[in-house]
Amino acid sequence: MAEKSILKEINDAHIAMELISFGARMQVLESETSLSRRRLLRLYKEMKGCSPPKGLLPFSPDWFMTWEQNVHASMFYNIFLFLHKTRPGRNIEHILVAYKLYLEQCINHATEKPLLGITRAWTLIRFTECGMIDHIRCCHCGGIFIVTASHLCDKQFVCRLCCIPSRAVKKLVW
């Protein structure tokens, strides 16, 4: 029987605790840690005081393409890319740090819920790894935004911030 590393188990428990504190689904916890489902359930119940939510994970890249979600997802993805290129470590560690930085930039913790949840952020990285989503530079502002494969051939891509849809103007507060 192979010996389990105590340090790896502690690290996995720490990652699971951080993911749970952000509201990650069980599927994320199971994919990113080597802890058993039973231990993850116990940890979740101990931290949250209830059972984890049930249901399917997001399965379509379309959610990330609407204007506001695209801006938030692109901000998170750019932070993740920077961390991935400049720091050693596992993807999940980069996701957690990038998510914390994303939250610092876009929400008031006392009054707002983040538009991009940790499970969707994790899903975004999975979608980019399998080629369902990629990134492209806006020809107006030079920012990098996430897009589906159909937009990659667009040489004159204009992001959602440079060309805000008319329905979005009502939502913006200047």
Mean of pLDDT over the chain: 88
- 15-24, 74-83, 132-141: segment of lowest average pLDDT: 132-141
Using DSSP, state whether 86 is helix, strand or coil. Answer: helix
15-52 per-position pLDDT tens digit:
999 999 999 999 999 999 999 999 999 999 999 999 99
Q: Domain spans of the chain?
A: 6-48, 61-169
d(Cα 83, Cα 44) in Å, to the nearest integer? 28
Instruction: Tell the residue number behind the tokens 């916890």, with chain if given.
Output: 29
Task: Over range 132-159, report the average pLDDT.
Answer: 86
